[in-house]
Structure 1
Amino acid sequence: MPVLDKKPSRDQGDQNGLPKLPVPALQQTLDMYLKCMRHLIPEEQFRKTKAITEKFGAPGGLGERLQRKLLQRREAKANWVYDYWVEDMYLNNRLALPVNSSPAMVFPKQNFRTPSDMLRFTAHLISGVLEYKCLIDGHALPVDFARGQLAGTPLCMEQYYRLFTSYRLPGPKTDTLVAQNSCVMPEPEHIIVACKNQFFVLDVVINFRRLSEKDLFTQLQKIMKKAESGEENFPPIGLLTSDGRTEWAEARSALIKDSTNRDSLDMIERCLCLVCLDEPCGMDLSDTNRAMMMLHGGGKDKNGGNRWYDKPLQFIVGADGCCGVVCEHSPFEGIVLVQCTEYLLKYMSGSPSKLVRAASVSELPSPRHLHWKCSPEIQKFLTSSAEKLQRLVKNLDMNVHKFSSYGKEFIKKHKMSPDAYIQVALQFAFYRCHGRPVPTYESASIRRFQQGRVDNIRSSTAEALEFVKTMTDKKSTDVEKMEKLCDAIKAQTNYTILAITGMAIDNHLLGLREISKELNLEKPEIFTDETYIASNQFILSTSQVPTTVEMFCCYGPVVPNGYGACYNPQSDHIIFCVSSFHDSPETSSDMFVKALEECLGEMQDLCNTQAGRVTPERGLKRPMKL
């Protein structure tokens, strides 16, 4: 179980006014599961799955027994799915964190003329980080309220308290999410600065006083000078954190045999965050190349070793102006990262902090260079980690595309939800590329509830499939196409409302599966059935990550033959970050982006020709606000 939630929330006051996550009715979930999968699998397979599902949900059967246990769990816990979900989604996953798990926010390109410019920018960034942490520590962040569907509902703020106080510890079978504000690990007062694959301890509080921006700049200069001198150069230990989780756990066990390594690990694991001062990447700084640099650092020959992936926040500042932040995803969702980074970019766009004019701490101690003792065993791990990271770098097929023909204002003008419209466009593009629908993941926030994280909107609806078939059928009229588009958007919107109100199927099925495991039962047939296994292979993994300042989010695919599709709708354009793997013969990010551009264009033409005739709102009952 994750260590993080074994103590009362520091955010208890915010939790008290929020309801607990509901457990949907068993039959509702089973019916919805069959509806979601029917058009995605062959008829014969569906008949078999339907029989298995009906047996599971039969009166007095296993499903009802597990449902009762789940309802008891709901009574006993603040959030019945939280532990199950974080373990299943993240901690039990053995894949390497870069590309496979850790998303990145890509900042606007900076123009550093000198190393001093770079360090001034970094000092200002660190100052902003410390200001933001003060807001969190003082419980001074304003409560978030839901936007989009069912707007105005207050949201759980607990994830913010994990930004600077968590650490993902690798384990042989499962990782552990560690809380640093517990009695085991005291509150951190230092940042780790990575420079030329070396790690330095930057104390941000000395003699009970927070360092001014001027002092931070001075300390960063010392760090850069030490790293460049090469007097004490240690191997790029950070590469180990880019490996598979089991391999990294094994390497860490070898590292901690030595007390020097234990001390260095302790300082990294207890820091507020990392700041990675990167070398120029040697590429043109297109949106696509900057995204790739954020996700994997360019491998062992570039900045791949200048990282520590277990830490939730790694701020990247490249000498060439390639900047952003990489996040370890298990403690918090993308929107929390967006809020944090938007605060920082707004803070930095203002005048330099008042701390620049604050009195300096006299006799600043030199930042400590972390030392490592590397046995032949550890060198072997490093070689293996470096090779695997290189393969990951070569394999990532990334395309960041700014769709400029229109943005969310055009979609709203036609009385449609921008998110639902874009999801239908993604289904259309996938169908155009591959000629079939596939299980699709779209993250939906359930922060309306205590300790809420996300559930899944299953965007590959039967209605979306009908729409894309109609669009590819030359006999269909524009009126028919528009009606099918409205049906698809209505279905997407309705499922979104189910998800954000805690009534979607994925968390519920996960809960039933995990309860059966806790009862030491043989895994129920519904969860060994090929349909259930296929239903969790998300070939299309999508997420809307909107921003109010100039930056964008990106991440990798979650399956070898899949796409990651992150999108940021703005008023007059949409930024798409599409990723896939080169070694899959089925996928191509360029092909997908080209199809997406075409499909969005055809949908625009359709909306313009049919303006005012049909809208998705007609006949759509408005849900009661919670």
Structure 2
Amino acid sequence: MAEAHQAVGFQFTVTPEGIDLHLSREVLKHIYLSGVTSWRKRVIRFKNGILAGVYPASPSSWLIVVIAIMSTLYARVDPSMGMIDSIKKTLPVSDYLTVQTQTIVSAILFATGLWFSIILVLRYTLKALLSYHGWIFESHGKKSFSTRLWLRLVKIFSGRRPLLYSFQASLPRLPVPSVDDTIRRYLESVRPLLDDEQYKQMEIVANEFKKDPAPKLQKYLVLKSWWSTNYVSDWWEEYIYLRSRGPIMVNSNFYTMDLLYVTPTHRQAARAGNVVHAMLQYRRKLERGEHTPLRALGIVPMCSFQMERMFNTTRIPGIETDFIQHLKDRKHLVVYHRGRLFKLWLYYGGRHLTPSELEVQFQRIINDPTEPQPGEKMLAALTAGERVTWARARLKYFSQGTNKVSLDAIETAAFFLTLDDESHGYDPENIKSLDVYAKSLLHGKCYDRWFDKSFSLVIYKNGKMGLNAEHSWADSPIVGHMWEYVLATDCFQLGYTEEGHCNGDLNKNLPPPTKLQWDIPPECQTVIGKSYALAKEIADDVDFHGCLFDDFGKGLIKRCRMSPDAFIQLALQLAHFRDKGEFCLTYESSMTRMFKEGRTETVRSCTWESTAFVRAMEDKEETNETRLELFRKAAEKHQNMYRLAMTGSGIDRHLFCLYIVSKYLGIDSPFLKQVLSEPWRLSTSQTPQQQLNLIDIQKFPKYVGAGGGFGPVADDGYGVSYIIIGENLITFHISSKFSSPETDSYRFGQNIRKAMMDIQALFDIKTKKL
């Protein structure tokens, strides 16, 4: 074991002649290197913390200000208007602090204060500039003079070479919309879903709420927005995720797939070695804050707060609510293979294990012939079942002894890795290959992913891979950022030998991975079995279909002068109406990361304009010119709603927070109850791509990711995730439930395909006429 290997480095025995001391030079060398690495890491973090703390200024600018102020003293000019003399009078005179020294110290203190004042002015100026969102409402490719001037000012005040967290202090806070605007937009969003009588009733309830108690609730919410960093995010994390007592597998966790067409190596251990090493490189840059912050238009910064908890993070179950445990400097991961759990150290001699060393370690686990201990094989099913069941079992069976030590190893690991004994991936010859692949990543066997970890990395037997991510700590774009880095590093920097092994020399003298020990009593095994039975019932009910749409993509849509997202959302509305014969409340996720600690907002994609377009498409007597005109209006409406959501003027997060305040105050609101109980029968999300631009997909068209997806939100609805890949490919990940007679994921996929083609045909006809 690794611990035992380190322990034998220092031995002593008591003899008649005294103490006989034995020291291992090799182990002492590793201890020394580990200490050096630790201190180097602290110094780098401290340095980068200072750089981010004084941004957009720099430490060198302090020296410039000091020199400038000192120069004015020699020129007999006082830019401080007497402040330097005032500071000088407060300093004591002594043998060590002469009058001349007092003057120098006073000037340095004034210069330092002036420097900090300049930093604050720059930050608040940048914050004021970033609070302007008029640019986002302008037509694509058409920037007004004021927007061009604003962009130039933002670029000037943003400084040079920012670190990951450099802009955090300059980001504006998420504004609280007015109650009148929110209710007006809400009524507008439900109008196409209600008949006249239902809508009148909803208007009455909404107007009663607007009169009372909305003003009272709004005051508390505004007060919270002044006091807290973000008036939504902490309540969203707690009440939407952590207080949910149902299973998080399928219902909350999401997945991300590997490269679609390329498998760099078919050796499972080698792929795991490269990918884990790439993740360690990413984590090192993340902990040091060295990643480049994401910026819209390459200029407007996005909040990086969610990235902090990517590694070393676990959702810990509780009776009433879970909590997120985030640690620092975790030096191991836990590996699951054929029912066994292993602890694997990621460092050796104060450095990361190389890809080839990791490959050796993973191959040792694969070759290990031992059988799982009683209860070990399905232990992770506890994380897939009810949260209260898991919390009670954790307190009763895993709070002391061997079980506690082993569970701590899992919960404090950098992340969780599964060396899966199955083979998955996209196969053009098998229409269901993506379906099975998606289900494997979303739930697996219900006991071979640790669903509480921030993410579980899955490496399949054939070298393909994917992620299963827990949702409470962050949203999918955050995971996607790391995933893009890992894929690019794996394929284009680390690479493989001709035989498919990791590059680098082998080191077979590493201590082998440690097999975790368990003492799981029969009654606990019974609890595990019940959690597994529930999880398997949920997993078996998931109907998944992966649909590759390659008839056209972003390139053609942009030639039609359309937003690709609006085009796809309207196609989804048309497909859903054809699939079910009705419209439904539709959820599209948008981000609010232009604000500090922003997460997401909802775009209600089913609008009066979109339903008018869909009905025109289904009316055989309607002309294509009219259909196209209605499509353009619906697309413009959708784009405007998306922009409102991104700029803090959405509907649903505001109503959600008003509801939380009403519960705290004990106020019963029929309006808020009805709003929050409405089912989202069509839940959609776009997976972002090319956040880092590390792979030129024009040059390497086969090196594209397949995106990811999530489970169905409503029992009788669909979940649809889509990724716009390059210019000519869109991938749809469609989920529903087999138990619902109203849904069929494959059928819905075919309806999406037909809807996309039918909409594209409108532009073909219009183009011919032009």
2:410 to 256, 268, 278: 268
Instruction: Give the whole-Å Cα distance in 1 for the aligned partners of 2:495 and 2:753.
Output: 43
Cα-to-partner distance string for 1:356-403 (whole Å, 9 max, x where unaligned): 787887853222111222122211112112222322232111110111
Instruction: Give the whole-Å Cα distance in 1 for the aligned partners of 2:194 and 2:522.
Output: 51
Kept in 1, the 8 Å contact 2:259–2:706? The answer is: yes
- 1:312 and 2:454 aligned: yes
Instruction: Give the whole-Å Cα distance in 1 for the aligned partners of 2:659 and 2:421.
Output: 47
| 2:607 aligned partner | 461
Instruction: Give the whole-Å Cα distance in 2 for the aligned partners of 1:218 and 1:363.
Output: 10
Q: Calculate percent identity across the aligned residue pairs.
A: 29
- Higher deviation after alignment, 493-502 or 380-389: 380-389
The secondary structure found in structure 2 opposite 1:388 is: helix
| 1:574 aligned partner | 730
Instruction: Give the whole-Å Cα distance in 2 for the aligned partners of 1:316 and 1:435.
Output: 39
2:667 to 513, 518, 522: 522
The secondary structure found in structure 2 opposite 1:610 is: helix
What amino acid is the match of 2:401?
A: S
Distance 1:444 1:351, change over 3 A: closer
Distance 1:421 1:613, change over 3 A: farther
Pairs within 5 Å for 1:212-291: 212-226=354-368, 228-230=369-371, 234-280=376-422, 286-291=433-438
| 1:606 aligned partner | 762
Kept in 1, the 8 Å contact 2:424–2:460? The answer is: no
1:90 to 217, 241, 245: 241
| 1:533 aligned partner | 677
1:423 to 565, 569, 572: 569
- Higher deviation after alignment, 566-575 or 171-180: 171-180
User: How much has 1:243 moved relative to structure 2?
Assistant: 1.0
Cα-to-partner distance string for 1:120-141 (whole Å, 9 max, x where unaligned): 1111111101000011012111
- 1:65 and 2:220 aligned: no
| 1:473 aligned partner | 619
Instruction: Give the whole-Å Cα distance in 2 for the aligned partners of 1:16 and 1:207.
Output: 37
Distance 1:470 1:224, change over 3 A: same
Kept in 2, the 8 Å contact 1:198–1:306? The answer is: no
| 1:163 aligned partner | 310
Instruction: Give the whole-Å Cα distance in 2 for the aligned partners of 1:250 and 1:169.
Output: 12
Pairs within 5 Å for 1:186-197: 187-197=329-339
Instruction: Give the whole-Å Cα distance in 2 for the aligned partners of 1:12 and 1:515.
Output: 31
Distance 1:284 1:348, change over 3 A: closer
2:740 to 584, 587, 592: 584
Distance 1:357 1:431, change over 3 A: closer
Pairs within 5 Å for 1:35-46: 35-46=188-199
- Higher deviation after alignment, 587-596 or 274-283: 274-283
The secondary structure found in structure 2 opposite 1:406 is: coil
Kept in 1, the 8 Å contact 2:183–2:206? The answer is: yes
What amino acid is the match of 2:228?
A: K
| 1:368 aligned partner | 514
5+ residue gaps in structure 1?
A: 1-8, 182-186, 615-626
Cα-to-partner distance string for 1:232-273 (whole Å, 9 max, x where unaligned): 563421121111222222332232244211111111111111
Kept in 1, the 8 Å contact 2:167–2:301? The answer is: no
| 2:109 aligned partner | none
Kept in 2, the 8 Å contact 1:112–1:320? The answer is: no
- Higher deviation after alignment, 362-371 or 84-93: 362-371
Larger RCO of the pair (alpha carbons < 8 Å, separation 6+): 1
What amino acid is the match of 1:557?
A: P
Distance 1:369 1:14, change over 3 A: farther
Distance 1:532 1:188, change over 3 A: closer
Instruction: Give the whole-Å Cα distance in 2 for the aligned partners of 1:390 and 1:475.
Output: 49
What amino acid is the match of 1:547?
A: Q
- 1:209 and 2:345 aligned: no
Kept in 1, the 8 Å contact 2:165–2:289? The answer is: no
Instruction: Give the whole-Å Cα distance in 2 for the aligned partners of 1:411 and 1:248.
Output: 48
Instruction: Give the whole-Å Cα distance in 1 for the aligned partners of 2:540 and 2:672.
Output: 35
With the length of structure 2 as denominator, give the TM-score of the two structures. Answer: 0.72
- 1:134 and 2:134 aligned: no
Instruction: Give the whole-Å Cα distance in 1 for the aligned partners of 2:206 and 2:743.
Output: 32
Kept in 2, the 8 Å contact 1:277–1:317? The answer is: yes
Instruction: Give the whole-Å Cα distance in 2 for the aligned partners of 1:93 and 1:45.
Output: 31
Instruction: Give the whole-Å Cα distance in 1 for the aligned partners of 2:493 and 2:601.
Output: 40
- 1:31 and 2:180 aligned: no
| 1:184 aligned partner | none
The secondary structure found in structure 1 opposite 2:248 is: coil
| 2:559 aligned partner | 413
User: How much has 1:152 moved relative to structure 2?
Assistant: 4.2
What amino acid is the match of 1:494?
A: N
- Higher deviation after alignment, 274-283 or 201-210: 274-283
Instruction: Give the whole-Å Cα distance in 1 for the aligned partners of 2:278 and 2:676.
Output: 46
Distance 1:366 1:332, change over 3 A: same
Kept in 2, the 8 Å contact 1:211–1:361? The answer is: no
Instruction: Give the whole-Å Cα distance in 1 for the aligned partners of 2:705 and 2:437.
Output: 14
The secondary structure found in structure 2 opposite 1:310 is: coil
| 1:123 aligned partner | 273
With the length of structure 1 as denominator, give the TM-score of the two structures. Answer: 0.88
Instruction: Give the whole-Å Cα distance in 1 for the aligned partners of 2:475 and 2:676.
Output: 25
What amino acid is the match of 2:394?
A: R
- Structure having the higher Rg: 2
| 2:719 aligned partner | 564
What amino acid is the match of 1:31?
A: R
Instruction: Give the whole-Å Cα distance in 2 for the aligned partners of 1:230 and 1:528.
Output: 52
Kept in 1, the 8 Å contact 2:356–2:505? The answer is: no
Distance 1:394 1:358, change over 3 A: closer
Kept in 2, the 8 Å contact 1:281–1:293? The answer is: no
Distance 1:344 1:289, change over 3 A: same
| 2:582 aligned partner | 436
The secondary structure found in structure 1 opposite 2:605 is: coil
Instruction: Give the whole-Å Cα distance in 2 for the aligned partners of 1:23 and 1:375.
Output: 52
The secondary structure found in structure 1 opposite 2:488 is: helix
Distance 1:283 1:272, change over 3 A: closer
- 1:328 and 2:470 aligned: yes
Kept in 1, the 8 Å contact 2:277–2:352? The answer is: no
Distance 1:470 1:380, change over 3 A: same
Instruction: Give the whole-Å Cα distance in 2 for the aligned partners of 1:605 and 1:387.
Output: 48
| 2:705 aligned partner | 550
Kept in 1, the 8 Å contact 2:263–2:464? The answer is: no
Cα-to-partner distance string for 1:439-470 (whole Å, 9 max, x where unaligned): 11111000000001001011111111111011
Kept in 2, the 8 Å contact 1:279–1:320? The answer is: no
RMSD across aligned C-alpha pairs, in angstroms? Answer: 2.4
2:325 to 178, 184, 188: 178
Instruction: Give the whole-Å Cα distance in 1 for the aligned partners of 2:763 and 2:528.
Output: 55
- 1:198 and 2:340 aligned: yes
The secondary structure found in structure 2 opposite 1:604 is: helix
What amino acid is the match of 1:526?
A: F
What amino acid is the match of 1:370?
A: L
What amino acid is the match of 1:70?
A: L
User: How much has 1:343 moved relative to structure 2?
Assistant: 0.7
Instruction: Give the whole-Å Cα distance in 1 for the aligned partners of 2:436 and 2:503.
Output: 37
What amino acid is the match of 2:179?
A: L
Kept in 1, the 8 Å contact 2:335–2:343? The answer is: yes
What amino acid is the match of 2:322?
A: D
Instruction: Give the whole-Å Cα distance in 2 for the aligned partners of 1:193 and 1:16.
Output: 38
Cα-to-partner distance string for 1:518-575 (whole Å, 9 max, x where unaligned): 22x232221233x5522xx111110111334333212111111111101111311211
What amino acid is the match of 1:441?
A: Y
1:21 to 153, 169, 174: 174
User: How much has 1:207 moved relative to structure 2?
Assistant: 4.0
